[in-house]
Structure 1
Amino acid sequence: MTKSAPELSIDDVRDRLESTIHTAFEQDGSTLVEALPAMGKSYHAIKWAETTGKHLSVFTSRRELYGQYEQWCINRELDFHVLPAFHHLCDTMGEGYSIENDVSEVYDAGISGAEIHRKSKQYFGSKLPCQHDGPCQYMDAREFNPEDYDVLIGHYLQAHNRDYLEDRYVAIDEFPSDAYFFDPTHNEATRAVSNYLKAEDNLPFENWKDLRYRRHKDEYEDTVEEWKDELGFYSHRDTRVQLQQNPGFHAHAPLLTHAGLEFELLGNEWEYAELGSGRKAVRSPEDEWTVLIPPPFYAAESVVALDGTPMINKWRLVLGGDWVNHETVLEDDQEKRTYLSEVLGLRIIQTDAGTKPYESGVHVNTQSDGALLESVPEREGTRPAVITSKTAKEIYRSSGLDDYIERIGHYGDLKGSNDFADTDLAIVIGSPHPPENEAVERWAAFDGESVERATDEDGQDLRGVDLDLGPLGNALFQDVVQYEVLQAVMRFGRTPDKPVHGATVYVHTSRLPEWVNPETYLEVTTWSNGMQEVVETIKSSKKWPNGEWTNKEIAEGISIGKKQVCDLMKELDEEGYVSHCRAGRGNAYHWSNVKLESLAEYGEVV
């Protein structure tokens, strides 16, 4: 007996969400709240602060999202403060000053914006331009008491400041991606280590190469262990001004040195290092370094992570702990399906397209995409909005396919966006496919795990729908690909509390989560090059549109012969685009136009 779909309303969902968020903030440590898009999870975090009177810090991705939080705070009469950002408020940056590049170099070397201002004479020999008429407005903006505000609003990176965490509850709105990554090149990392070792008397190595080859010698074991034991959280940063004049200086040199001492080889040639306090480093087979430096979230009263389609392993890593609580608003896959169809009013129509990895643009199929883009306005009576890859977006523009599109967005520009909330007809075309070394192998390495593609019996990598990266690798891949496709689908018709809401969304890729059940499946067929030649020949002839054509006449001057022309004309005849009679020498076919002008340019959709 088939399980019936549960009854679910937007009020039910939001009541559950409110209860879940209250429970999450009451728990010690970090809690991940899984709540699909359009539930109002960001708003309910602010509502929690107003209801409980607790001090809240919210960290999110883009400044344009701050306005939503500001308005919610105003509506609920909460005192709020937007945290000052160095690049946004400092007039030295972005104003065309000649010193700007020098400031950027010091900042990129791991010195904070505040430290740059405090020691500007030591770094640059004079005050910064923004300090000539008094304190920089950035430094002025830093002079506030966090206790005076119910809500602090800032970017993920600003969570590194303990003043914004202590005695406060923290909400992290959506996954911070690589915000807590430090990505030096191999040369930058090794130069920084070598530079540091020249000044560090407590380690017996002269440079990076010396450390690399002699770190495991028994004679150095006690010295190395003593150096590591003395490292605290802040001693992983080197801020000695005298060293900053040396080429290759970086404030994270002690952390990089620690990583060099700890690296262990994984099965897929990646290296992994555990650095304490949630910090980890990995090194790819191509010598690309990444250091994960989570903020000191342990200083907060509690931390609540808000995400629609979360990957628990990745959240645990960026939160810097060994464990994260996990709370869900919807109980199971059936409730998720009900939420999509009944609460959000989404009609999902999926085509028979394959995976369609569109990140690079190499596999963009303008014929198949064109057939669907032509068909949808005829089926629905209006042009659709489209979300696809950034590369495909440019290809559509250059090929004229954007004539069929009302508006277009791309993967990677959707997080927190409500630009398509009022759109009720859309197509999601193709799937993101970021480099597996970044999206899968690197994240697995942070967990000390090795991930590799499975191969077939001939030793060839499995691809497309057969792609297999093992349990952890598949989960990491799905987190980037399947859930980004789902997030794109759920960008449309996001007004569940309005009388008329919802959207019809065509999905032109197979990369949807398995629990999503499309309402309908479509088959997209594209015309062959021969068919396109035949139709173009007929429509460009002097006898168009009321004449008659034989197979021989059509075949003259094109790349296919009379027999293939005849087969293609019979297809058009069966679909009612042309008609025929047989007459003359050899009882030849004579073709006449019926409605060939209405034949779609790219193909048909059934």
Structure 2
Amino acid sequence: MDQRRQIAPTVAWNTKDTTVHLLSVPNFESANGVVGLDGTPTKRMWDTAFGVSFDHERVVPEERMNDYLTDALDIHVHQYGAHNDNGGTRPYSSGVHLYADTDEKLLHGMGMHFDAEPDVITTKAAIRRYDEDDRVLHHADEYRNFASVKSSNAFRESTLGAVLGSPHPGDETFKRWGAFMGLPIRRLGDNSPDDKGPNLEYGRTGDEIYQHYVHNQVLQSILRFGRDGQEAHVLVTSMCTPSWVEPEPLTMTTFNGADRRVIGCLRDTDGRTQSEIVDETGMDQGNVSRSLTGLEEQGFVGIGGTDNSGNLRRTWEGV
């Protein structure tokens, strides 16, 4: 993108598709000063958007930010993949490459571990896709997209949350900001245009813009939970958090799809026979039998007597 400053407002011209973007800067000529409050500021973007050279002052030093998150705000971040090889950026903005099976497993596991359904923040595209089959969000209480929770207190009383995937507006957004700043922004190295992995590089200014749109937005979503002072636990399924965030390990039991269906059939009941479970879940006898055997061996399922015909009633014993 090229920048044109011949007239106000500032113009960014996309020479590839011949689109024009205008940056309309507010008029602060009569103001004695301008104060901007932002927990995750990108100074150069603030300067560009408002036409003011801000002085950046931190209230909490970066080396104390994780202490502020856990001690002052009482928010505990659990990051899937932080302690193994399952991590990734999980860009969910397109809604194309979703980790539905993993997301369902994790949300179900959180519900079992904390005995409450988590509230979920993810992309609008992911919500649209997950609404279609009602598998993943079936295990959530409420859910919202990244854009709708900015400066929101909707989850202020929520003590259990999950941030699924990460936002990624696309390289054109980064290039447009660069044009407004009079700087070329492009993806560096051998990364393909479709790659949104953890090692993307856009140069110094481009990296700042990328961090703002991806990592800082995930952090802002984390901060939506537990805003009334209660202890909150938030599971993040991507590696897209600022470097100072120190995720805490979370040991919770997760179950495969067949087990989840059987558990859902048994929970909140006084027990059911195998035939009743088959009828309720639509699974075949063999899969139900194998699932019950495995859950019983692990101590999650017990025997709660028999029905009038002498068939064993299986009961959910909890995790």
Q: Quickly name the TM-score band, shorter chain normalised.
A: 0.7 to 0.9
Structure 1 residue matching 2:79: 3-state secondary structure: strand
Selected match of 1:341 from 67, 70, 77: 70
Partner of 2:203: 470
Deviation at residue 522 of structure 1 after TM alignment = 6.4
* TM-aligned CA distance change 1:466 to 1:544, over 3 Å: closer
Q: What does 1:465-544 align with in structure 2 at a 5 Å threshold?
A: 465-496=198-229, 501-520=230-249, 540-541=284-285
Query: Conserved in 1, the CA contact under 8 Å of 2:89 and 2:196?
Result: no
Cα-to-partner distance string for 1:530-552 (whole Å, 9 max, x where unaligned): xx9xxx9x95137964xxx9xxx
The yes-or-no answer on 1:364 pairing with 2:108 is no
Shifted more, 475-484 versus 460-469: the winner is 460-469
Deviation at residue 525 of structure 1 after TM alignment = 8.0
Deviation at residue 293 of structure 1 after TM alignment = 1.9
Partner of 1:300: 31
C-alpha distance in 2, partners of 1:437/1:524? 41
Structure 2 residue ranges without an equivalent (≥5): 82-86, 262-277, 300-313
Partner of 2:120: 386
Selected match of 1:317 from 37, 40, 48: 48
Cα-to-partner distance string for 1:422-463 (whole Å, 9 max, x where unaligned): 11111111101112202x11101111111111232xx74554
Counterpart of 1:347 in structure 2: which amino acid?
A: H
Counterpart of 1:304 in structure 2: which amino acid?
A: V
Q: What does 1:96-175 align with in structure 2 at a 5 Å threshold?
A: none
Cα-to-partner distance string for 1:546-570 (whole Å, 9 max, x where unaligned): xxx9xxxxxxxxxxxxxxxxxxx9x
Query: Conserved in 2, the CA contact under 8 Å of 1:282 and 1:442?
Result: yes
C-alpha distance in 1, partners of 2:68/2:150? 20
Deviation at residue 520 of structure 1 after TM alignment = 1.5
Cα-to-partner distance string for 1:282-305 (whole Å, 9 max, x where unaligned): 111221111212121132111111
Partner of 1:243: none
C-alpha distance in 1, partners of 2:168/2:210? 9
C-alpha distance in 2, partners of 1:435/1:524? 36
Counterpart of 1:519 in structure 2: which amino acid?
A: E
Q: What does 1:182-261 align with in structure 2 at a 5 Å threshold?
A: none
Deviation at residue 398 of structure 1 after TM alignment = 2.2
Q: Structure 1 or 2: larger helix share?
A: 1
Query: Conserved in 1, the CA contact under 8 Å of 2:109 and 2:253?
Result: no
The yes-or-no answer on 1:327 pairing with 2:57 is yes
C-alpha distance in 2, partners of 1:312/1:418? 25
* TM-aligned CA distance change 1:433 to 1:385, over 3 Å: same
The yes-or-no answer on 1:437 pairing with 2:172 is yes
Q: CA RMSD in A?
A: 3.7
Selected match of 1:283 from 13, 16, 24: 13
C-alpha distance in 1, partners of 2:40/2:287? 58
* TM-aligned CA distance change 1:542 to 1:518, over 3 Å: closer
* TM-aligned CA distance change 1:470 to 1:525, over 3 Å: farther
C-alpha distance in 2, partners of 1:385/1:311? 28
Partner of 2:156: 421
* TM-aligned CA distance change 1:381 to 1:528, over 3 Å: closer
Partner of 1:196: none
Structure 1 residue matching 2:244: 3-state secondary structure: coil
Counterpart of 1:470 in structure 2: which amino acid?
A: G
Structure 1 residue ranges without an equivalent (≥5): 1-269, 550-568, 578-595, 599-606
Cα-to-partner distance string for 1:151-172 (whole Å, 9 max, x where unaligned): xxxxxxxxxxxxxxxxxxxxxx
Structure with larger Rg: 1
* TM-aligned CA distance change 1:392 to 1:524, over 3 Å: farther
Structure with bigger RCO (C-alpha 8 Å, 6+ apart): 2
Paired-residue identity, %: 29
Structure 2 residue matching 1:305: 3-state secondary structure: coil
C-alpha distance in 1, partners of 2:252/2:43? 36
Query: Conserved in 2, the CA contact under 8 Å of 1:371 and 1:524?
Result: no
* TM-aligned CA distance change 1:287 to 1:525, over 3 Å: farther
Deviation at residue 280 of structure 1 after TM alignment = 1.9
Query: Conserved in 1, the CA contact under 8 Å of 2:76 and 2:247?
Result: yes
Q: Number of paired residues? A: 281
Query: Conserved in 2, the CA contact under 8 Å of 1:357 and 1:432?
Result: yes
Structure 2 residue matching 1:289: 3-state secondary structure: strand
Counterpart of 1:540 in structure 2: which amino acid?
A: D
Query: Conserved in 2, the CA contact under 8 Å of 1:358 and 1:391?
Result: yes
In the superposition, the TM-score normalised over structure 1's length comes to: 0.42
Structure 2 residue matching 1:291: 3-state secondary structure: strand
Query: Conserved in 2, the CA contact under 8 Å of 1:492 and 1:502?
Result: no
C-alpha distance in 2, partners of 1:280/1:523? 52
In the superposition, the TM-score normalised over structure 2's length comes to: 0.77
